[in-house]
């Protein structure tokens, strides 16, 4: 095979078997790689009623079709599972070096099934694969685990692992790659439920390309074009996504409002973070280096180094929780990385808890004495420790924002601003709400949103996209393109960029119609003739499979609704806004070939996309129990091991 390696590794932890299977060529052609092949695997092999933390959940890892080639920004690994955080398709794209190394070792996908009866880690050294005991690693944080495994297996390996949070089945736990990069949606808890501590990979080969010379020429063109992009030069490489704190209206106190630039505290502004920066670093195969390496200058974690603190950390752990102290934010970011938790999920859940505390829905009796006043950074840092260890009130935070509101009751859900369990602000009907409503993993800034609005892209790129009718005044039409470009980036392994720009997510966008340049690259890599239209179809196919997967988890059209504040929800304007929003959602369904009354892919659309069997399965399925967050357990039944960091 060209482009792909041709091999899928199946790891069955219950049976302790490691099996190499040939990658299905039709699957590769139609779903490309990364998010695409993972979504198809999850749909085909997992029906409704699976406990995300039970033995029947699957953990899928897949680099993109163009990973480990000369294309820049292509070292993204997609980690997909049934999310224990949201209870629906949970997938995340993670940087670092794992995707490159996995592909160089010869694997297009690794699928982990079952549960080991003791802690293990997976060791891959090119063609050699084995399961190793991990008793000595269990209880360690992600940094210590990575250091120990690199020391044991030598430099050049990439390590993905979990920390105490994953072991303790914290639903906010992430898969951590090379210490600092996180794949979220609770995948870390799935590792923990399987007794899988780490994956260590060394890869020394490289995928064969059909036309290596032609591909190299196109990668060079892409790099040159990116080098001219003002946003990459002046923003992404200098500030990374920190830039957003002063420019993207971050949430404030559980989305009570969005902070306009002039209200962002001086010490949190993007320029201010330079004070702590000691270097700039990036993922393998990326020249942008959008991440900062920083050192905490004082406090409990004085001199500790952290990497890649992004806009999301500053706003989710900071402004949206009412905290304005950079030292505390850096401490919490490092704690999340070391324990292995997602900063966005932790921040959103803590912000909700703080709102409930400040409204008197919970008090110090519920929080075991913690003062969750908005500005109290010290107790918030303590709560991050408690969450990873499932101590006291942290045991509730560890369940995630939707489940926290469900467990507390007493009107708490009114303040849980979410779509399908993921939090991402309160917006009026319009482009942002539409993007959040239709994203298949829940409210999300990394699906169509920024691309459909063009909010961060270079002016010249933007003008060209407007001229071509890609970005228009019609949010539905713009969203169709925005969704496709992000789906394709996730499938070919391209980073969507530090500041969510078109140039990052989509190579060669200036060539022909929108996807012609990428299609040319895929053709040269794989030898399969792709066109702009066939890869557009690949994107639509992936979206339809994800939607069908969620339908079997009980998601309905009602879950594509926008969150509203309680004082607005029951007003006439609130009802009108929901109507406007739903009209847009239905229009988007129609344009995508989905049934307007259910949001499900129609038989006609499935057959056109060569996935007619999905229509059969959807028609034959019994209606699933309506989605109400992930399946929960008794809070007393969770493990609580490991030591605090």
Residues that bind ligand SF4 (CB under 6 A): 73, 95, 282-283, 286, 288-291, 495, 497-498
Q: Which long-range contacts (CB under 8 A, 24 or more apart) does 78-81 make?
A: 78/34, 78/35, 78/38, 78/183, 78/490, 78/493, 79/38, 79/175, 79/183, 79/187, 80/35, 80/38, 80/39, 80/41, 80/42, 80/187, 81/42, 81/52, 81/57, 81/185, 81/186, 81/187, 81/190
Nearest-angstrom CA–CA distance, 517 and 36: 20
User: 412: which strand partners?
Assistant: none
Closest approach of ligand SF4 to the CB of residue 438, in Å? 24
Closest approach of ligand SF4 to the CB of residue 281, in Å? 8
Closer to ligand SF4 by CB, 283 or 384: give it: 283
Closer to ligand SF4 by CB, 404 or 461: give it: 461
With 0-12 CB in 10 A as exposed, 13-18 as middle and 19+ as buried, what is 332? Answer: buried
Give the other-Cβ count within 10 Å of 564's Cβ: 23
- Write the CB contacts of 420 (distance below 8 Å, at least 6 apart in sequence): 86, 88, 441, 442, 443, 550, 555, 559, 627
3-class SS of residue 82: strand
Closer to ligand SF4 by CB, 68 or 73: give it: 73
Closest approach of ligand SF4 to the CB of residue 498, in Å? 5
Closer to ligand SF4 by CB, 253 or 496: give it: 496
Where do the DSSP E strands lie in 369-524?
A: 418-419, 422-423
Closest approach of ligand SF4 to the CB of residue 243, in Å? 13
Closer to ligand SF4 by CB, 340 or 497: give it: 497
Closer to ligand SF4 by CB, 479 or 498: give it: 498
Nearest-angstrom CA–CA distance, 474 and 396: 41
Closest approach of ligand SF4 to the CB of residue 258, in Å? 24
Closest approach of ligand SF4 to the CB of residue 199, in Å? 20
The phi-psi region of residue 266 (left if phi > 0; otherwise alpha if psi is between -120 and 50; otherwise beta) is: alpha
Closer to ligand SF4 by CB, 74 or 146: give it: 74
Closest approach of ligand SF4 to the CB of residue 181, in Å? 8
The candidate with the shortest Cα–Cα distance to 72, out of 477, 606, 555, 504, is 504
Closer to ligand SF4 by CB, 291 or 586: give it: 291
User: 113: which strand partners?
Assistant: 12
Longest dimension (CA), the chain: 67
Closer to ligand SF4 by CB, 283 or 296: give it: 283
Closest approach of ligand SF4 to the CB of residue 216, in Å? 19
The secondary element (H helix, E strand) that includes residue 44 is: helix 34-45
Closest approach of ligand SF4 to the CB of residue 237, in Å? 9
Closest approach of ligand SF4 to the CB of residue 495, in Å? 3
Closest approach of ligand SF4 to the CB of residue 488, in Å? 16
Closest approach of ligand SF4 to the CB of residue 569, in Å? 37
Rg, Å, the chain Cα set:
23
Closer to ligand SF4 by CB, 67 or 83: give it: 67
Contact 426, 443 (CB under 8 A): no
The candidate with the shortest Cα–Cα distance to 464, out of 504, 514, 425, is 514
User: 424: which strand partners?
Assistant: none
Q: What are phi and psi of 293, to 5 degrees?
A: -105, 125
| Residue 222 structure tokens | 């892409």
Contact 174, 184 (CB under 8 A): yes
Nearest-angstrom CA–CA distance, 531 and 523: 8
Closer to ligand SF4 by CB, 76 or 449: give it: 76
Q: Given the DSSP bridges, would you call strands 175-177 and 89-94 parallel, antiparallel or unpaired?
A: unpaired
Closer to ligand SF4 by CB, 62 or 377: give it: 62
Nearest-angstrom CA–CA distance, 125 and 481: 40
């Amino acid at each position: 095979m060209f482009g792909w390696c041709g091999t899928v590794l199946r790891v069955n932890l219950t049976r302790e078997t490691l099996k190499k299977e040939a990658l299905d060529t039709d699957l590769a052609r139609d779903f490309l790689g990364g998010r695409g092949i993972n979504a198809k695997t999850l749909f085909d092999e997992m029906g409704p009623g699976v406990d995300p933390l039970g033995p029947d959940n699957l953990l899928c890892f897949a680099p993109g079709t163009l990973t480990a080639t000369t294309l820049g920004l292509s070292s993204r690994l997609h980690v997909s599972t049934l999310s224990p955080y949201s209870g629906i398709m949970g997938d995340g794209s993670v940087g670092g070096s794992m995707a490159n190394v996995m592909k160089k070792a010869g694997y297009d996908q690794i699928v982990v099934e079952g549960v080991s009866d003791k802690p293990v880690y997976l060791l891959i050294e090119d063609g050699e694969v084995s399961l190793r005991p991990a008793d000595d690693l269990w209880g360690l944080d992600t940094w210590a685990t990575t250091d120990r495994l690199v020391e044991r297996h030598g430099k050049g390996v990439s390590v993905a692992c979990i920390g105490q949070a994953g072991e303790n089945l914290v639903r906010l736990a992430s898969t951590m790659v090379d210490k600092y990069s996180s794949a979220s949606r609770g995948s870390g808890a799935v590792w923990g439920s399987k007794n899988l501590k780490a994956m260590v990979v060394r890869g020394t080969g490289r995928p064969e390309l059909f036309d290596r010379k032609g591909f190299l020429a196109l990668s060079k063109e892409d790099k040159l074009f990116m080098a001219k992009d003002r946003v990459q030069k002046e923003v992404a490489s200098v500030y990374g996504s920190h830039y957003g704190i002063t420019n993207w209206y971050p949430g404030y106190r559980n989305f009570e409002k969005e902070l306009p630039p002039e209200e962002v505290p001086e010490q949190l502004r993007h320029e201010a973070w330079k004070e702590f920066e000691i270097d700039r670093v990036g993922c393998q195969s990326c020249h942008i280096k959008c991440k900062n390496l920083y050192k905490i200058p004082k406090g409990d974690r004085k001199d500790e180094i952290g990497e890649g603190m992004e806009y999301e950390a500053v706003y989710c752990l900071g402004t949206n929780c009412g905290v304005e102290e950079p030292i505390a934010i850096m401490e919490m970011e490092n704690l999340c990385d070391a324990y292995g938790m997602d900063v966005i999920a932790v921040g959103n859940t803590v912000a909700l808890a703080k709102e409930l505390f400040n409204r008197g829905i919970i008090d110090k009796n519920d929080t075991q004495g913690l003062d969750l006043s908005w500005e109290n950074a010290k107790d918030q840092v303590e709560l991050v420790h408690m969450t990873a260890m499932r101590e006291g009130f942290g045991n509730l935070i560890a369940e995630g924002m939707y489940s926290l509101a469900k467990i507390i009751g007493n009107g708490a859900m009114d303040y849980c601003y979410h779509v399908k369990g993921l939090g991402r602000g309160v917006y009026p009907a319009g482009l942002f709400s539409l993007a959040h409503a239709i994203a298949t993993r829940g409210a999300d800034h990394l699906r169509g949103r920024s691309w459909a609005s063009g909010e961060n892209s270079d002016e010249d790129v933007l003008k060209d996209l407007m001229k071509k009718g890609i970005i228009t005044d019609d949010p539905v039409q713009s969203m169709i393109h925005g969704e496709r470009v992000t789906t394709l980036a996730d499938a070919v392994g391209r980073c969507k960029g530090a500041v969510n720009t078109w140039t990052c997510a989509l190579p060669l966008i200036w060539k022909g119609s929108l996807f012609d340049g990428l299609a040319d690259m895929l053709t040269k890599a794989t030898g399969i003739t792709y066109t702009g239209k066939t890869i557009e179809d690949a994107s639509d196919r992936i979206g339809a499979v994800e939607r069908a997967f969620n339908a079997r988890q009980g998601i309905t059209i009602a879950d594509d609704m926008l969150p509203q504040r309680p004082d607005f929800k029951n007003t006439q304007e609130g009802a009108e806004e929901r109507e406007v929003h739903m009209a847009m959602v239905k229009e988007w369904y129609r344009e995508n070939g989905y049934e307007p009354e259910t949001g499900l892919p129609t038989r006609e659309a499935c057959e056109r996309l060569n996935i007619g069997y999905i229509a059969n399965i959807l028609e034959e399925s019994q209606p699933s129990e309506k989605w109400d967050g992930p399946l929960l357990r008794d809070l007393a039944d969770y493990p609580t091991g490991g030591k605090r960091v």
